[in-house]
Amino acid sequence: MLGLGFQVEGWVVMLVLMAVAQVAVIYGEFFEPFNVSYDHRALILGGQRRMLISAGIHYPRATPDMWPGLIAKSKEGGADVIETYVFWSGHEPSRGQYYFEERYDIVKFVKLVGANGLYLLLRIGPYVCAEWNFGGFPVWLRDVPDIEFRTDNAPFKDEMQRFAKKIVDLMKEENLFSWQGGPIILTQIENEYGNVQGSYGQSGERYMKWAAGMALGLGAGVPWIMCRQTDAPEAIINSCNAFYCDGFKPNSYRKPVIWTEDWNGWYANWGDRLPHRPVEDNAFAIARFFQRGGSFHNYYMYFGGTNFERTAGGPLQITSYNYDAPIDEYGILNQPKWGHLKDLHKAIKLCEPALVAVDDSPLYVKLGRRQEAHVYSSEQIDTNSTLPGNIGTCAAFLANIDEHKSASVKIFGKVYNLPPWSVSILPDCKTVAFNTAKTEAQVSIKTVESGSPSLSNATEAADLLFHDNYFAPLKSWMASKEPIGLWNKNSFSAKGILEHLNVTKDTSDYLWYITSVNISAEDVLYWKEKGILPLLKINSMRDVVRIFVNGELAGSKVGHWLRLEQHVQLVEGDNQLALLSETVGLQNYGAFIEKDGAGFRGPIKLTGFRNYGSLDLTKFLWTYQVGLKGEAAKYYAPEEQENVDWVDLQLGAPSAFIWYKTYFDAPEGSDPVAIDLGSMGKGFAWINGHGLGRYWSLVAPKSGCPKTCDYRGTYKESKCVTNCGQLTQSWYHIPREWLQDSNNLLVIFEETGGNPLKISLKTHYTKTICAKVSENDYPPLNSWWHPNIVSGKKSVSDVPPEIHLRCDDGHVISGITFASFGNSGGSCQKFSVGHCHASSSLSVVQKACLGKNKCKVSVSNATFGKDPCRGTLKSLAVEAECTSSSNFYDFHAPNLWQYQKTVEESRESFSASA
């Protein structure tokens, strides 16, 4: 018994130690403390030069439940580092009142990064741009007396230093810098200040130098960077932000080449087309960067996420911040972008020993008019001769920068074929491991695309529609009318036109300007005789204004500081004129953004009077009402529902300036959820009190979208746009974290008119996956690390290529809809069998893939039993369907014996054909 007691106690002790170890991994020191320094070649981590790949993730654009998966997928994709801005407006919503909870729990986010064994680039700013409301500045900052942003201004510098110190001190308190065993290896002060510095004259230069000195004095203990700052002081590394940075050089030989923002996508505005950057071009730009001496590369963005609540910048930027990133805003892999870039990262890592070994510039070789090579070698080599068998560390990059023509080049006695606008990477200076233009990664077709048009059908039932057989009975839709104009005794009156933000403090998008205009019978008769209407003129307005006369909408306008002229119908006597000024994201970029403001500028006049021409309404007494009644009363909050005057929705009732609510049950499973609001006009949506963000059903122009996107040539954000003639955004992300199993409260404020009965929900996942790999494509990059390859017992060239297929987490391959080893034609969802086709193709792929989350198939004659057509270059093309693993096994479990029998018959068929 005594022995047993000791045994039980030992297990308890072991469990305790395991728990302590687990907590230490998550919340303690993540690394042995190490110092970070740098030289002209690279960052030096713990005494070792490193070539680093960084993935941009903004923690508030996801929910905490999403963070672990995003970080893990970034690491699996080849990232060494996670990059994020720090969002001042979220962390200090009121001066001196800090917030570090929920989506703004930056400490938790940084610790999760460290727990995954990744480093962190912390871009404190505190100006961040980021298409974030007001560039990340809290709006209260405008009200600090005598303040001017981002210049040699004492009030601004005091506030900026206070916040930057708060963040650095918080990171130190949590032991999150590298020298404390934490993941933070780099910090950034300011952001793209060089773009606007000239606007501030000498004060701008003084401010920049002050910001650098202030940052260095905070005691972070890791290097500081400034992006797009060509005159950064010697102790600060200046870095590049652009679509291409292969030609960038820092302003001192002592500094490494760092690419802070590789714009692998772009943002969209309401009413715009959707930008996309081809992955072949993105890979080309990155390979060129490392080829020409780069050492640290960061994706902006690797995960874009969602502008929840009112965080979208402006003016007029959409709620989705998908950014055509390798991971979409729901957390699902964006293929082939994620997979192709993962292969690129592996190829770069294979070259890292050579890249860090060369202390100065690589060997440059001109291979043709628009072809060149850069060779990194630990010893002298002759590029005109065959490499010796005992060559040491050596890696080569062969580039063809011709936008149209392929090229054959010769180096080290071998000939290499280079597609146009591509880079081939040779980790051993002999064998091509990767070419940026040859994509072997799968293509994924998802159930939801951000800008796809509404798929809902009209219905007279008061139910929320579910796609893909998801349907939940709901309580009836209910509605509550939003007043036009005054709704609260807290309104106030003042002479003249007040600046919008000075009144609202950005607590709401909306501000009512209300006045009264007395019209004589003589003027009414004059307008009738002339057949005219008086004209309201506003000298300048932003972003949206809606004009109401006597409670009726008379007109509206959208734009950024545009002139407005609107005819209005006035009656004899007093007329109420109500102007609703709306912001759609505050200015996030440029000099003097604190002076941009919102609302109206210049005179507001009413013209067309018989005797005196016009009335200058600017001098009138105006009454101001901030926000909406439903906002102030929190119609969207679950706990406030009994206090709202909801009534059953009447079909055909007015649908503008109205609140809607309903309840729904969450779709089963764990897939992300999207809501289609394409049937609505403009407004806001909330789920269980959480703000999904603004919605607006504006349609992109019908023209300007190419039928095909050519990756070749210099990219710009307007090059490969899609979505012409469709809504800029129809689907909106509902994080699973915000849902409960049943009775989820959906509240919508509709401003312009829409049909809530057409709103629908859909789970977002990868539904169809395709891949096509040729037998002369490159071997899988993992084979380079195989012991037989490393030892030289086997050549990597002897390893056949592989096709890789993968469904989302929690999903399996449920069906193979096409499989052909031969010379099939077409592309994903349009594959066709060619004259050369191995009869065993389908059975082989089914055997390898059915019922699995991911699978691989070797692309070789041996895999399919025999060569189906000698002398013909063959490819394996596969199209498969994914479904949730629970649904798949629930369906197959009763008939599992039959399923296994089918697999066995496939095996026998394969053996017979072999």
> Which residues are marked as active site?
192, 261
In the chain, the amino acid numbered 721 is V
C-alpha to C-alpha distances, 313 to 136, 494, 585, 648, nearest whole angstrom: 9, 30, 4, 36
Question: Which of 762, 702, 755 is CA-nearest to residue 732?
Answer: 762
428 by DSSP, 3-state: which? coil
C-alpha to C-alpha distances, 190 to 159, 437, 531, nearest whole angstrom: 13, 36, 58
| Token reading at 78 | 């080849």
C-alpha to C-alpha distances, 261 to 278, 303, 761, nearest whole angstrom: 17, 13, 34
| Token reading at 213 | 């000195």
Output b/e per residue, 493-520; b: 16+ Cβ within 10 A.
eeeebbebbebbebebbbbbbbbebebe
- To 5 degrees, how large is the angle CA 511–CA 513–CA 519? 160
Q: How many CB atoms lie within 10 A of CB 639?
A: 8
Question: Which of 112, 108, 136 is CA-nearest to residue 124?
Answer: 136
Query: Which residues, in sequence order, are CB contacts of 606 under 8 Å at separation 6+?
Result: 517, 534, 535, 536, 537, 568, 614, 615, 617
Q: How many CB atoms lie within 10 A of CB 145?
A: 5
In the chain, the amino acid numbered 628 is L
- Tracing tokens 């500045």 back to the chain, one arrives at 137
- Contact present, 574 and 518 (Cβ < 8 Å): yes
- Tracing tokens 């494509």 back to the chain, one arrives at 777
| Rg, the chain, Cα only | 31
Question: Which of 769, 767, 770 is CA-nearest to residue 671?
Answer: 767
- Contact present, 873 and 776 (Cβ < 8 Å): yes
Q: If you write DSSP's letter for every residue of 674-741 in order, what string do you get?
A: EEE-TTS-EEEEEETTEEEEEEE-PBPPSS---SS----S---TTTT-B-TTSBS--EEEE-GGG--S
Question: Which of 62, 77, 158 is CA-nearest to residue 441?
Answer: 77
Question: Which of 367, 363, 410, 413 is CA-nearest to residue 389?
Answer: 413
- To 5 degrees, how large is the angle CA 675–CA 76–CA 175? 95
